[in-house]
Chain A
Amino acid sequence: MTVSVEPEEFRFVAFDSALIRKVGESLVATLGIDKPVHVCVDETTPLGRVRAEVGDKIVVTVESGAFEDSKRPRNQSEVATKINLGRILLRVNDRLRGGFAETPPDDELSLPQMAAWETYCAGRLSRLGLRINRQRWLYNFRNRHGFTDAADAAFDQLWAAENLTWSELQSICNNG
């Protein structure tokens, strides 16, 4: 499947559209996504949000901070590109794969719901060989589900999970 990137050349950041395309193509192949992907980078903001809309093609909108090297501001990090593109493509893939039909649209997800889903994605990405800081995701999860042993147990379960449905994911969260 094709991966396209917009813009081709960047003005405010030193990003490489060819690298984004290469990372995207690798992820699409690994995850078995069967729709074309268009990655649109908003280079006017240093924030790091990533969104996706699914139609005939998957349109991923990325704020430049998501692909940025935090050690070298305005420069691209291949690791960050892989992780953040991987997170959103895993969520898209979950929706396309089935079992997530009743999931609310991304904009309507609560912060605890999103934290749980992100944990599930980050755990899977780490098993795909990406360098993921587990503590980072644990802290994010605790911020949304509480600093408790029960929340930590739910995190462990989500992190290790494969092939969850939305209701199973929700159930783990609710127990946490």
Chain B
Amino acid sequence: MRKFFPVEELARDSRFTQINMRQSQADPRTALVGPNAAKRLKNNRLTPSRPDASEAARNLMHGIFVGEIQALEGAGRTCHDFELPDPSSRTADKAATDTVPFALKLDMARQAWDESRHVEISVKLGEWMGAEIGQFAENTVLFEAACSTDPVMRLAGVNRALEGLAIDVFTTMKEFGEVAGDPYLEFCEDWMLADEVTHVKMGSDWLRKVTENDPERRAKALEFQSIVDRLFSFGGTRSESEDSPIGLARRFRELAGFTTDEVDDIADVSLAALEERKAFAAAAMSTSSSSNSPAS
């Protein structure tokens, strides 16, 4: 079976349309600045009190659904893409960057099982909320983070950064269901949230264990995680500011193995990304540049 599968060749039927992060970031529109921004709500957090609450929740639910598909694909690839270490090199100070311990593969297999269940739950929740499969564009950033040839990078980028984001998203959706009185949404999100905490914890534990004797590799992985955290905060989607639809779920992140300093760092990165987004949008609106032609 083929190893290191490229994002462009993910199996999707004709219902799906994919975009990458570059296309997503090129959109200069925002609710946060611009000539009519002052007339809009001051709080963009996704709650039932927003006039567009059900539409925004449906959109986010579809994002969760495609994210779960990619997480399933990513965890499955990590099981398969890397070999077991050579027993004769067990005493080496540094582990080879193209092998993973068998127990890590088992954890990834368990995660793939969880993600497949999440895909099924997300499909049902989407139907319940009135979404159709493929109704919204699929951003492929999660699987792109799972394409690294170093498994530690995948743990940092997918399990710690993107599954960490999933903790924030599920917490927001669970609270949305709770406030709206939607029993299915609240219940399902709570169950999936518990799994996500486990996935992040696995990422945190394995990252520390695999890089125990290789501080340079660990530093690179954490730097990659920071880049992914920043990338996914672009547009101000997730931060502790009420300008962001999704909040930062500090408590669940701590349960998942993040230290307080690490959560503080993510909060800072997210807030900086939100401010960058506002500046980008303001600049785009102040210039009538021909380079702003929309993506086709």
Binding site for B on A (CB under 8 A): 11-14, 42-49, 64, 70-75, 111, 114, 133-140, 142-143, 146-147
Q: Quick check: B27 and A46 within 8 Å, CB to CB? A: yes
Q: How many contacts between A and B, using CB within 8 angstroms?
A: 103
CA distance A133 to B135 in the complex (A): 11
26 contacts between A and B (CB under 8 A): A12-B28, A12-B292, A12-B294, A13-B29, A42-B36, A45-B34, A45-B40, A46-B27, A46-B31, A47-B52, A48-B52, A64-B29, A70-B59, A70-B136, A72-B137, A73-B19, A73-B27, A74-B29, A75-B294, A111-B51, A114-B51, A139-B128, A140-B55, A143-B48, A143-B182, A147-B180
Contacts of A73 in B (CB 8 A): 19, 23-24, 27, 137, 295
Q: Quick check: A49 and B134 within 8 Å, CB to CB? A: no
CB distance from B296 to the nearest CB of A (A): 7
CB distance from A93 to the nearest CB of B (A): 21
Taking A64-B29, A136-B130, A139-B129 as contacts, is the C-beta distance between A74 and B295 under 8 angstroms? yes
Q: Quick check: A147 and B182 within 8 Å, CB to CB? A: yes
> B54 contacts which of A47, A64, A143, A146 (Cβ < 8 Å)?
A143
Q: Quick check: A146 and B181 within 8 Å, CB to CB? A: yes
CA distance A142 to B48 in the complex (A): 11
Q: Quick check: B136 and A75 within 8 Å, CB to CB? A: no
B 192-216 contacts with A by CB, 8 A: none
Indicate with 1 or 0, residue by residue over B269-294, a CB within 8 angstroms of chain A CB atoms: 00000000000010011001000111
> B40 contacts which of A47, A139, A140, A142 (Cβ < 8 Å)?
A47
**Dominant secondary structure at the A interface:** loop
Size of chain B's interface in residues, with CB distance under 8 A?
46
Closest A residue to B284 by beta carbon equals A12
CA distance A147 to B181 in the complex (A): 7
Q: B43 at the A/B interface (Cβ < 8 Å)? A: no
Q: Quick check: B137 and A49 within 8 Å, CB to CB? A: no
Contacts of B35 in A (CB 8 A): 42, 44
Closest A residue to B183 by beta carbon equals A147
Closest A residue to B129 by beta carbon equals A139
> A139 contacts which of B24, B130, B284 (Cβ < 8 Å)?
B130
Indicate with 1 or 0, residue by residue over B18-52, a CB within 8 angstroms of chain A CB atoms: 01000110011111001111001000000011011
CB distance from A112 to the nearest CB of B (A): 11
CB distance from A130 to the nearest CB of B (A): 15
Q: Quick check: B54 and A11 within 8 Å, CB to CB? A: no
Q: B95 at the A/B interface (Cβ < 8 Å)? A: no
CA distance A139 to B58 in the complex (A): 9
Q: Quick check: A44 and B29 within 8 Å, CB to CB? A: yes
Q: Quick check: A43 and B292 within 8 Å, CB to CB? A: no
Contacts of B30 in A (CB 8 A): 44-46
Contacts of B53 in A (CB 8 A): 143
CA distance A173 to B168 in the complex (A): 35
> B127 contacts which of A64, A114, A135 (Cβ < 8 Å)?
A135
Contacts of B131 in A (CB 8 A): 136
Taking A70-B135, A73-B137 as contacts, is the C-beta distance between A49 and B181 under 8 angstroms? no
> B29 contacts which of A12, A111, A136 (Cβ < 8 Å)?
A12
Q: Quick check: A14 and B294 within 8 Å, CB to CB? A: yes
CA distance A138 to B129 in the complex (A): 8
